[in-house]
Structures are given as structure tokens and as C-alpha cells.
Amino acid sequence: MNILITGATGYIGSHTLIALCEAGFTPILLDNFCNSKRVILPRLEAQTKQSLKFYEGDILDVQLLKRIFTEQKIDAVIHFAALKAVGESTQKPLEYYQNNVAGCLNLLTIMKTHHVKRFIFSSSATVYGDPASVPIQEHFPRASTSPYGRGKLIIEEILEDLIKAESDWSITLLRYFNPIGAHESGQFGEDPQGIPNNLTPYITQVAIGNLEKVQVFGNDYPTPDGTGIRDYIHVMDLAEGHIAALKICASKAGLHIYNLGTGRGYSVLEVITAFSNAVNQADSTKSGSTKAIPYEIKPRRAGDIAECWADPTRAQKDLNWSAQRNLNQMAQDAWRWQTQNPKGYE
């Protein structure tokens, strides 16, 4: 199967591309490099041992999309391309809706014209808003707390309308929890621009000495240690979830919705401890000394919720998929990526 991957050079797209090639799929890549770097391409070719078909451009460029669908035989689309900074989306709502919602509509319209009706969409746990209880199941009510999250929710609703009107589509919504970690080679990982918004890239930047200390956003949540709890999932487990979804769902028409998480939550302090351990383990061969990653308690971050973790039972049952890698492995792999690439892909 030939799979068009939008946002293919981004964090999750690049890891999924590697897993897709290993599983024998043929990828066709599209990205405009608004949040990724061109230098990843030779690395991806070296890792996958193949010459990759890559289109540089924007999902807002309808002529380019027409060209891709005319030039290539595409069997399914995995749609990662999106802007993803929750805070920024509150400052630039129109840019977010334009890029994420209008871009997705362009893609779906071209797909329909070319009779390509298998679609996997990168959704997010953010569509559950502040859940009434955890673990979160797929039927829980949806809510949105930011233009970014509302965009995901709007696209989910558009896809629900589409399947009602045209039942021959196979549409899969994968709701990711908190993807972290890196490819075990140390060659691929998360490469945020500027100061990271998310917890674990911030932690590795502190550990490597680029930032002074981790700011822990609130220790007065109703959780055992007072800090926020999330379901962190290794990016390669997430990547493998896409392969399972492609294999199982793509042949079944209808709307398929899955949480991709581990089913376990960790607090911010537990994550900092796991990363301290990974750093010390990696360094022990060099210095023998141990050190903790420094942090300070700060006020809560606006829009954050106390806890969020998945019930991944449906994906286990239907897709025969479950996350295999634990928090220690996520921390070790993230640290290997950070130390081998102190400036990211540059």
C-alpha cells in the first residue's frame, strides 16, 4: 500500500514513517517544514534504506495536492500536518483554524475527487477537555479548551458528518495522549523551536545545561504529589499504533476511534525523577557521580487539568495493539537523542 503522510518530517510523522517502512508500506511524504527541518530527510533515507518520495509544500496549496494525487497512486492518507502549540493557538486562532481545519478540508476534498477513502487522523486527548473521571474512554463527552483543541474537535465532527453521508470511507481517529521519547537509534526525536512548551523536552534541555531548572506548573492539584498527571506514551509505540490501525481499519469502512495511550498516568515529579535516573545511568560510565535535575514549583499553567490518562482497552481488543515501552525507556531514549543531537537536527 502507498501511504501519503502529511507532516511526515515532524516528530510523530517521522517516527511513524520509519515504522511504516519496516512494516512494508510505501510512504509518500509531504511537509512544508514550518516545524521541521530538511536535514531529517537524508537521515530518514539512511534509516529506512530507501529513497523516499518527498513533496515539499503546504496542505493549503490545492494545486500541489492535485499534483500529488495525480502523480502518485495513493491507497490511504495519514494526516499529521498541523500547528500544535496550544498556547500559541490562543494568540493566533485564525492561523490555527486556517492551517489545521481548512488544510484538512482541502485534503479530504482531493481524496474524494481521486476516490481515495482511507484516512487516519491525528487527534488528541485534548478533545476530552477536562474529563469528569479517569481513565478516559472513547465514548466520553468531548469539549475544547483552546483554538487548537477546538480545531481537532471540529475535524472529528466533520469526519463524522462525512461518514454519515458517504459510508464507504474508512476513517480512523487516533487520539494521542502525551507522546514523548525518541527513536532508539538516537537519530530521531522531538526538536522544538525555541524554549519548549512541553514537559519532557524542557527537562532534557535543563539536563543538558541549556535551561536552568524545570518549572513545575502547580503542586496543589488533587493528585498524590499535587502535580499534574498525564499518560506519557513512547513515540515508537504511538507509531506502531498507526501500523495496527492501517492493517485493521483500512479494510473496514466506517468510523473507528481509538485512544492511543498506555493506560497509566505519571505525575510531573515522577517524570522528572525518571529523567534524572536516565541521565545518571547514561553518565555513570563517565563520572560515577549522580545528580538530580533541578526544578522549582511555579503557579499552575492556565488551561491545564489535574489528570488525564487513557483507557486503551478498545485499541488492545480491536487493533491487537498496546504500548510496550515504559517511562524509563521513554526517558533513556529521549536522553540519547538529546545528547547525540544537542542542537536538534541542525
What amino acid positions are annotated as catalytic residues?
Answer: 148
* Partner interacting with residue 35 (select from ligand WQD, ligand NAD, none; CB below 5-8 Å by kind): ligand NAD
- Site size with ligand WQD, rule: CB under 6 A: 17
CB of 276 to ligand WQD, least distance (A): 15
For residue 169, which amino acid is it? W
Rounded to an integer, what distance in angstroms lies between the CA atom of residue 139 and that of residue 134?
13
| 127 binding ligand NAD? (CB under 6 A) | no
| 29 binding ligand NAD? (CB under 6 A) | no
| 155 binding ligand NAD? (CB under 6 A) | no
Angle between helices 11-22 and 235-249 (to 10 degrees): 60
Provide DSSP, 307-330.
Answer: EE-B--HHHHHHH-------HHHH
Q: Which of 270, 261, 251, 253 is nearest to 310 (CA)?
A: 261
* Partner interacting with residue 12 (select from ligand NAD, ligand WQD, none; CB below 5-8 Å by kind): ligand NAD
* Partner interacting with residue 304 (select from ligand NAD, ligand WQD, none; CB below 5-8 Å by kind): ligand WQD
Angle between helices 327-340 and 199-208 (to 10 degrees): 50
CB of 104 to ligand NAD, least distance (A): 9
CB atoms near residue 267 (< 10 Å): 20
| 217 binding ligand WQD? (CB under 6 A) | yes
Q: In sequence order, what are the residues at sequence separation of 6 or more whose Cβ sits closer than 8 angstroms to the Cβ of residue 205?
A: 195, 196, 211, 338
Decide: residue 330, CB within 10 A, 0-12 exposed, 13-18 middle, 19+ buried. buried
Residue 99 DSSP code:
I
| 34 binding ligand NAD? (CB under 6 A) | yes
Residue 143 DSSP code:
B
* Partner interacting with residue 199 (select from ligand NAD, ligand WQD, none; CB below 5-8 Å by kind): ligand WQD
Rounded to an integer, what distance in angstroms lies between the CA atom of residue 128 and that of residue 323?
21
Q: Which residue is nearest to ligand WQD (CB)?
A: 228
CB of 83 to ligand WQD, least distance (A): 10
Provide DSSP, 7-42.
Answer: TTTSHHHHHHHHHHHHTT-EEEEEE--SSS-TTHHH
| 7 binding ligand NAD? (CB under 6 A) | yes
Q: Name the segment binding ligand WQD (CB under 6 A); options: 6-14, 37-45, 212-220, 257-265.
A: 212-220
Q: Name the segment binding ligand WQD (CB under 6 A); options: 186-194, 195-203, 234-242, 251-259.
A: 195-203
* Partner interacting with residue 262 (select from ligand NAD, ligand WQD, none; CB below 5-8 Å by kind): none
| 142 binding ligand WQD? (CB under 6 A) | no
Residues found near ligand NAD in the complex (CB under 6 A): 7, 9-13, 31-36, 58-60, 80-84, 99, 103, 122, 124, 176, 178-179
